[in-house]
């Protein structure tokens, strides 16, 4: 299921779902600010590898040998949401080679209904930093700093 905009079937301009796996999920630090307007939120999975970064947030890399669990969200105006999440994720269209993340369209499967949809997500666009830890189960939740 790993993917990028190249090679995706269908028209990616019609993608209305966002797949999140970190701070944008329900109950996490950035959900209320960026995703409160979601029409639907479903547990979902895609292929890739997930890392916990020493900065306190996760990074997904494209890979066919792992799974990443998160949430598939739909929005009434996905373009407005993507403008905001692109800024949060350091995803710059003007300098994609130096962006922290790249936004790509990937196939995801919803956990409860097993429905397959194409969703936007963010993949890490740099070398993994020292201290990055592979999460073999593909699940991330913010660490407690208490």
Q: What pLDDT does 12 receive?
A: 60
Is 132 buried (19+), middle (13-18) or exposed (0-12) by CB count in 10 A? middle
pLDDT surpasses 50 at 10: no
pLDDT surpasses 60 at 4: no
Q: Tell me the C-alpha distance between 60 and 104, whole Å.
A: 11
Q: What pLDDT does 146 receive?
A: 36
> H helices of 36-101, where?
78-88
Q: What pLDDT does 3 receive?
A: 44
**2 or 14: which leads in pLDDT:** 14
pLDDT surpasses 70 at 32: yes
Is 126 buried (19+), middle (13-18) or exposed (0-12) by CB count in 10 A? exposed
**5 or 134: which leads in pLDDT:** 134
Q: What pLDDT does 56 receive?
A: 93
Q: What pLDDT does 55 receive?
A: 93
pLDDT surpasses 60 at 34: yes
Where do the domains of the chain lie? Answer: 12-128
Average pLDDT over residues 16-34: 96
CATH topology of domain 12-128: Hypothetical upf0131 protein ytfp (3.10.490)
pLDDT in tens, 70-119: 999 999 999 999 999 999 998 876 777 789 999 999 999 999 999 999 99
How many CA atoms lie within 13 Å of 44's alpha carbon, on the beta-carbon side? 31
Question: Rounded to 5 degrees, what are φ and ψ at 108?
Answer: -125, 155
pLDDT in tens, 36-72: 999 999 999 999 999 999 999 999 999 999 999 999 9
- pTM for the complete prediction? 0.88
């Amino acid at each position: 299921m790993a993917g990028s905009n190249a090679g995706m079937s269908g028209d990616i301009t019609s993608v209305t779902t966002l797949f999140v796996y970190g701070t944008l999920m329900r109950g996490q630090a950035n959900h209320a600010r960026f995703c409160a307007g979601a029409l639907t939120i479903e547990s979902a999975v895609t292929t890739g590898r997930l890392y916990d970064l020493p900065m306190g947030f996760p990074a997904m890399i494209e890979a066919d040998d792992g799974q990443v669990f998160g949430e598939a969200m739909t929005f009434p105006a996905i373009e407005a949401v993507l403008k905001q999440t692109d800024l949060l994720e350091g995803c710059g269209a003007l300098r994609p080679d130096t962006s922290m993340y790249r936004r790509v369209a990937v196939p995801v499967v919803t956990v409860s209904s097993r429905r397959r949809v194409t969703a936007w997500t963010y993949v890490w666009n740099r070398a993994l930093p020292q201290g990055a830890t592979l999460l073999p189960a593909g699940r991330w939740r913010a660490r407690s700093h208490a």
